[in-house]
Amino acid sequence: MSLARTLLLRASRSPWLAEQFRRRAFARRAVRRFMPGEDLGSALDAAADFAVGGIGTVLTSLGERVSSPAEAAAVRDHYLALLAQLRERALPAQVSVKLTHLGLDVEGGAACADHVMALAARAADAGSFLWIDMEESSYVDRTLELFARTRARHAGVGVCLQAYLRRTPADLDRVLALDGAVRLVKGAYSEPPEVAFPKKADTDAAYVTLAERLVDHGARGGGRGGARGGARGGAVPAFGTHDMRLVAQIRERAESLGVPRKAYEFHMLYGIRADEQRLLANGGHAVRVLISYGTAWFPWYMRRLAERPANVWFVLRNLV
Ligand code: FDA
């Protein structure tokens, strides 16, 4: 892992830096590159604009590692209200949550499980779909357990898996056995080498192998666990990447196996590769843009900088 990436990921855990950044207008300006605004209204308006261009969205309220039951309950209530708005506005939008934002660290995580179950039920009612993000490796077991419990009761829920983790091939087997939808990403956190590949090339190679397994599974008719949720919320495997070489490889494999273009999706982050998002959508591919909003953007923003340390220049430009 590069030194810049390591430093940025370490910085992402500093409450002091978070406070400093939040107070600075230049930082708030720089962050706008990756989010349409801090408020939910901006996110919903952006989702509506994407919908006009045939691009779906996934909305997420920024925040993680809450430490009290009241905070976790407030996050649940926020997402319940959001799902009601998606239904009201008939937006082709899904929702993605972090379990530590819903209280995974609070009192053994019991209430977190109830919150996720409530959100999955509301997502089904709204014709939407609930994604569960994957956070640091120490949370993977509990995230997958909670996913399995939710999936047993609700079809419209999927989970993110990270290609950089050495354990992920086995986790993929487990999730596919549950007929669960997977969003495959490379992985955004700082992890020790025993747990995650330290070299980017190894993560990229692991991504290809895992993506091929997902495409092959789709070709055999699997991976459509949540499709019963309806056209707006249907779940198919999602490839969360901006790596256009990987996108091309996935497309080629799917085409060679006769997997229809709408039987899998490409998910990208707001503000990254916008041209490619449109090109893919215009070419008949299913594309979703993940839109983040909220004021707790600091750790998330540091991870975006760490993914491409050249982005730091963008921040400095806003400073001057
Ligand atoms: P890679 O990092 O190789 O980037 C490929 C190219 O994309 C770069 O060369 C650059 O051009 C562009 N690019 C990538 N990141 C950029 C950035 N920040 N700024 C500007 N350009 C950039 N991670 C996680 O651990 N848990 C999760 O739940 C999720 N969820 C998630 C959802 C979605 C929809 C996406 C797209 C990503 C995530 N991630 C995530 C983040 C993921 O793990 C990973 O860190 C980023 O997607 C960057 O990896 P790429 O696959 O884009 O490849």
Residues serving a catalytic function are 133, 183
Instruction: Lowest mean pLDDT of 128-132, 235-239, 270-274, 276-280, name the range.
Output: 235-239
For tokens 């009201």, name the residue. Answer: 88
The residue ranges of every structural domain in the chain are: 36-296
Q: Is the pLDDT of residue 246 over 50?
A: yes
Distance CA 110, CA 114 (A): 7
Instruction: Lowest mean pLDDT of 128-142, 165-179, 219-233, 269-283, name the range.
Output: 219-233
Q: Is the pLDDT of residue 29 over 90?
A: no
Q: Is the pLDDT of residue 25 over 90?
A: no
Instruction: Lowest mean pLDDT of 81-85, 247-251, 308-312, name the range.
Output: 308-312
Q: Is the pLDDT of residue 226 over 60?
A: no
DSSP 289: E
Higher pLDDT, 158 or 13: 158
Of 171, 120, 96, nearest to 141 by C-alpha is: 171
Q: Which atom of ligand 1 is nearest to the CA of 242?
A: 52
Query: For 305-314, what is each residue's pLDDT tens digit?
Result: 888 878 887 7
- Cα dihedral across residues 244, 312, 290, 72: positive or negative: positive
pLDDT attached to residue 320 = 67
Return the SS3 of 130: strand
Name every residue whose Cβ is closer than 8 Å to that of residue 236 and which is 6 or more positions away in sequence.
181, 218, 223, 224, 227, 262, 263, 264, 265, 286
Higher pLDDT, 31 or 59: 59
Give distance in angstroms: CA of 88 to centre of ligand 1. Answer: 31
pLDDT attached to residue 235 = 59
Domain 36-296, what fold? TIM Barrel (3.20.20)
- Look at ligand 1, atom 53, and give the residue with the nearest C-alpha: 243
When pLDDT is averaged across residues 141-154 and rounded to a whole number, the result is: 97
Name every residue whose Cβ is closer than 8 Å to that of residue 173 and which is 6 or more positions away in sequence.
none
pLDDT attached to residue 230 = 36
Q: How many CB atoms lie within 10 A of CB 43?
A: 24
Higher pLDDT, 227 or 222: 222
C-alpha distances (whole Å) from 39 to each of 161, 293, 294 are 28, 6, 6
- Look at ligand 1, atom 51, and give the residue with the nearest C-alpha: 241
Tell me the percentage of the chain whose pLDDT exceeds 70: 94
Give distance in angstroms: CA of 307 to centre of ligand 1. Answer: 6
Confidence of residue 273 (pLDDT cuts 50, 70, 90): very high
Give distance in angstroms: CA of 242 to centre of ligand 1. Answer: 6
pLDDT attached to residue 219 = 81
Confidence of residue 233 (pLDDT cuts 50, 70, 90): very low
- Look at ligand 1, atom 43, and give the residue with the nearest C-alpha: 187
Ligand 1, CB within 6 Å, residue ranges: 133-134, 160, 162, 185-189, 240-243, 267-269, 272, 290, 304, 307-308, 311
Q: Which atom of ligand 1 is nearest to the CA of 241?
A: 51
Q: Is the pLDDT of residue 158 over 60?
A: yes
Distance CA 117, CA 106 (A): 17
pLDDT attached to residue 223 = 57
- Look at ligand 1, atom 19, and give the residue with the nearest C-alpha: 308
pLDDT attached to residue 314 = 75
Q: Which of 241, 268, 290, 303 to mutate to test the pocket of ligand 1 (most atoms within 8 A of CB)?
A: 241
Confidence of residue 224 (pLDDT cuts 50, 70, 90): low
Query: For 185-211, what is each residue's pLDDT tens digit?
Result: 999 999 999 999 999 999 999 999 999
pLDDT attached to residue 123 = 97
pLDDT attached to residue 315 = 74
Q: Is the pLDDT of residue 278 over 50?
A: yes
Q: Is the pLDDT of residue 13 over 70?
A: yes
Q: Which atom of ligand 1 is nearest to the CA of 98?
A: 28
Confidence of residue 176 (pLDDT cuts 50, 70, 90): very high
